[in-house]
Chains A and B, each alone.
Chain A
Amino acid sequence: MPKPAAETITFTLDGLEVDSPAGLMLADAAKLGDVEIPVFCYEPKLGQPVGACRMCLVEIEGIPKLQTACSTPVRDGMVVLTQTDRVKEAQEAILEFLLINHPLDCPVCDKGGECPLQDITMGWGGGRSRFIEPKRHFVKPLALSPLIAIDRERCILCYRCVRFSQEISEDYQLVLQERGAHSYVSTFDGHPYVAPFSGNIIELCPVGALTSQAYRFRARPWDVEGSGSVCTLCPAQCNVEFTVRDERVMRVLARDHAGVDDGWLCDKGRFAYQSVHVDSRVTHPLLRVDGELVPVSWDRALDEAAAGLRSAGADTGAIAGGESTNEEGFLLAHLMRGGLSSSHLDSRTGGTLSRDLHAALHAPQRQACVEDLEFAHALLVLDCEPVDDAPVLDLRIRKGIRRNAVKLAVATSRPSSLDPNAAAVARFAPGAGEAFCAALNAALGGEDTVVDELAAAAGADPAEVQALAAVLTDAGEDVVIVYGERLTHGPRGEHAARALLNVAGRVITAGHDGCGLLELPAGANGRGLREVGVLPNAGPGLTPVTSPGLDSGGIAAAAASNQIEALYLLHVDPLRDMPNRRLWKKALARATMVIAHAAFLTDGLWEHANVVFPAESYAEKEGTVTHPDGRVQRLRPAISRPDAVRGEWQVLADLCKRLDHDPGVLTGPMTSATLFAAIPFLAGLTLDEIGGRGVRWPERPQAAAWPQADGGPFGLEAPPFAPTPNGDLRLGTFRSIWAAPEVELSPALKFLRAHQRAELCPADAQRLGVAHGDQVTVSSNGSQVNAIASLRASVPGGTVFLESGLEQDSASELDAGLVEITRA
């Protein structure tokens, strides 16, 4: 459903004429006339109002009884009174009712000072209590989950948390039990409420009933300062506000931005801030001396790094990890291409795409934005799992389906959590995205004869492909395709990209608002890094380079065979973040100089890094990142850097200077300005323009400077057949939201730390003699990982899914293709 245009109406509010968009609820419309109507249960983010608390009663002329402003849409000519005696009496009465059972806990209550119940009682309450009887009692506080404490005495039964669980995150865990004054919020059988978005209910609760275990008693609102920035733990790049006390981040709150996060955060974003202040953080430059990493001065570390780089010269390879900012990526490219004349740098993990394909896939006229997910006619989720790849977008997709009847089509290898909401679901073999896109393209083009063959190559069911195509063609003209970067990974990534562009050509009208492609990159700032030139085959702004270098896989292979001497690892531990762990182990061991920017010494760096520069945390960083939909967002330092940590743009600039290639930047903002000036489609952008809300560059006139490229249709080669599971199983990999060092290091999130599970279907398990929960060994080509068997009926037969990004037993130990499973 396309975004509806709102018409304006006029109504009378306490004797004044107020203009408001039609259909707005009175509680919101009153704000336009500078009148505040107190509310507890009303929260527009939660969808339809429920009218549970009755706090918002107002008088409407012509209606004898008082009405709830939160659930009465404003109409033209309506006469609303909010300050009459009847309304006041009602408000006082409601507050008196709410406080009958409310404990006098304010001094010990975490909500004190930012509590709507306190504020509304002060503003609208009678100021006197007549209730002397004993109050209702519950055991308190209890752990609703390891992250959330619940105090049931304080609950005013507003339903917000329950509605969030039922209608927003759709995990259906929270319910209200019992009746009347005995009602309480709980999961149905009392199990802990663990879900990827559970932390949002802390922020939703209008009282101190739900509080964060991690923030409990840490500070009062007057002890802290809020500092707006952006979460860079995943590509969703939610806007956040860090609560800072004494130069420490105390909690993370959502900073509502309809174009990015819709006011929600995932639990990783909400709690992983704890990793900023752990003892194991690297806070001094480290140098390997006699096999040990020891703290050294900045000058020494920079000199050693510069010497190593100079001697390696063009035989240097660099990888930028997803959380690097645009500025850091830009300076890294400057260092590599300028200072070292090496083009071996990459920010993608799975092979090269040509410049033209990059340009075509991300062309402004084919770019969907986050809001389009909500208002599309049809949405195709292709080879990605939003809840793992960009969690907060999962909520956006669910919202579109629930409220705007978006038709969802899911085409993935691994069963998706969005399957139950989908109008059509198709499964294909892991890594067979190319064949699947080709099949879908054929189905959309009505070439039914080839669909069967292509679907067979993809390991998919032709009927499912047809059904999927029907959803995409029948729903309407606004079609959005959300695809994972992994679709274009691998040696045949370019073919997959072309097949995808063919599909897009059939369902998307280029240049039409409301439809388009949206990539979920593998790294948080994946898109930005490519656009600033961290690619082997393109410079800043996707400009052509004379001699393309090696991509990440090529760098690893070259280092493993001693052709590359120095490795520059910007926020990346290849053993963690890259496929093919065995090759990388060899590469790291063989490289003579490994320079890393890291906040934590993960395995690969601990063993192999020669110089480690302490990395800033995302709460300390200054710079910009680019959202998958092209929104350039600004990171602002919320806290000062600990110990000897320096701004990383400065470290990179210092290295450039030592290699006689001074980028001429003296401050962070200067780096941003240099970057914007160097990239034609960002020309004229300023940090002020980006501000706190970001700027979508595809919407700026300068977007015309984006390189033109052929967007298809392309002639496609016949894709290779997905391997047939001949007793062995096809290996599919995924990286869960919890597979990150930040999660492992945050005390609050430790319990969620990912462990390797082998997901397979019960039929395969039975054949292999494996039961749910068994310890199994998954092996291929001489390497193996240990996992716990996890039986899922929805996993397609012949396939096993393993997680990558883990510290131990990561799927990246294994080669893609077929694997053997045995009981350990």
Chain B
Amino acid sequence: MLIVQRPSPPGAAGGTYRAFGETLRGMKTTLARVIEGPKTISYPEEKVPVYPRFRGRHKLHRFEDSGLEKCVGCSLCAAACPADCIRVVAAENTPENRVSAGERYAAVYEINLARCIFCGYCEVACPFDAITMGQDYEMSDYNRSDLIFTKEMLLDEPLERTPLRNDGE
């Protein structure tokens, strides 16, 4: 036969502590925050500043002097992209229609931002620093297809909507 040994039952004070002790500890934390005031940010009126290396929506760049596109349509970003969301169709520059500095240029450059995982590999792969990750993270839209950003959209000066976190902030 198995004999079970039980501890003696707690007294009244001990019983109360057992029932409410943990709750009180929790309440202590809660009450302590009350005096700190609210931390909620009223997005979109207010925005959290991002770090300088935050990887948001991409930008394509032009040379400042000549205005030519830096991208030569080499498709290396598309090769590097783990989400397979970049599509490049290249074409040849002609003297009448010179778009980029090299022999070829991107006739079509599209990033499907609905698929992008913002890993930044495209930026690393680009041999001409033609594509970089920007800070913008506000890209929601009503339509999936509107999330396919074309070359023109990526080349456009983006609306600087996202505040940048200053040094040491």
Contact = CB atoms under 8 A, between A and B. Distances in A.
A222 B78 contact: yes
A217 B91 CA distance: 6
Given A220-B78, A223-B78, A107 B72 contact: yes
A247 to B, nearest CB: 14
Interface centre among B72, B90, B103 (most CB of A within 10 A): B103
A588 to B, nearest CB: 43
B78 A217 contact: no
Contacts of B89: 218-219
A107 B128 contact: yes
Given A107-B102, A108-B102, A222 B90 contact: no
A219 B128 CA distance: 19
A108 B104 CA distance: 6
B78 to A, nearest CB: 7
Interface string B39-83: 000000000000000000000000000000000111110110000
Contacts of B91: 217
B103 to A, nearest CB: 5
Contacts of B127: 106-107
A727 interface: no
Contacts of A106: 74, 127
Contacts of B128: 107
B2 to A, nearest CB: 68
A108 B78 contact: no
Given A108-B104, A141-B103, A217-B92, A223 B75 contact: yes
A113 interface: yes
A106 B79 CA distance: 14
A113 B74 CA distance: 10
B80 to A, nearest CB: 10
Interface in B97-117: 102-104
A112 B72 CA distance: 13
Nearest to B103: A108
A220 B104 CA distance: 13
Number of contact residues on A: which range applies?
A: 10 to 19
Contacts of B73: 217
Contact of A222 (B72, B75, B102, B103): B75
Contacts of B103: 108, 141, 217
Interface in A206-259: 216-220, 222-223
B90 A113 contact: no
The dominant DSSP class at the A interface is loop
B92 A216 contact: yes
Number of contact residues on B: which range applies?
A: 10 to 19
A218 B75 contact: no
A217 B104 contact: yes
Contacts of B78: 220, 222-223
Contacts, number: 37
B74 A107 contact: yes
B75 A108 contact: no
A222 B76 CA distance: 9
A219 B75 CA distance: 8
A307 to B, nearest CB: 45
Contacts of B102: 107-108
A112 B74 contact: yes
Interface in A57-111: 106-108
A217 to B, nearest CB: 4
B76 A107 contact: yes
Nearest to B87: A223
A106 B91 CA distance: 16
A246 to B, nearest CB: 9
Contacts of A223: 75, 78, 88
Contacts of A113: 79
A107 B74 CA distance: 5
Nearest to B91: A217
B91 to A, nearest CB: 6
Contacts of A108: 72, 74, 102-104
A219 B127 CA distance: 18
Interface in A527-541: none
Given A107-B127, A108-B104, A141-B103, A218 B76 contact: no
A222 B79 contact: yes
Contacts of B75: 220, 222-223
A217 B79 contact: no
Contacts of A222: 75, 78-79
Contact of B79 (A141, A216, A218, A220): A220
A114 to B, nearest CB: 12
Interface string A191-208: 000000000000000000
B160 to A, nearest CB: 30
Given A107-B128, A108-B103, A218 B90 contact: yes
Interface centre among A106, A108, A141 (most CB of B within 10 A): A108
A784 B91 CA distance: 46
B120 to A, nearest CB: 19
Given A222-B75, A222-B78, 9 more contacts: A107-B74, A108-B103, A108-B104, A113-B79, A217-B90, A218-B90, A220-B75, A220-B79, A223-B88
17 contacts: A106-B74, A107-B72, A107-B74, A107-B76, A107-B127, A107-B128, A108-B74, A108-B102, A108-B104, A112-B74, A113-B79, A141-B103, A217-B92, A219-B89, A220-B79, A222-B78, A223-B75
In the complex, the 10 A-B pairs of residues with the closest C-beta atoms, listed nearest first: A107-B74, A217-B90, A220-B75, A108-B102, A217-B104, A108-B103, A222-B79, A107-B127, A108-B104, A108-B72
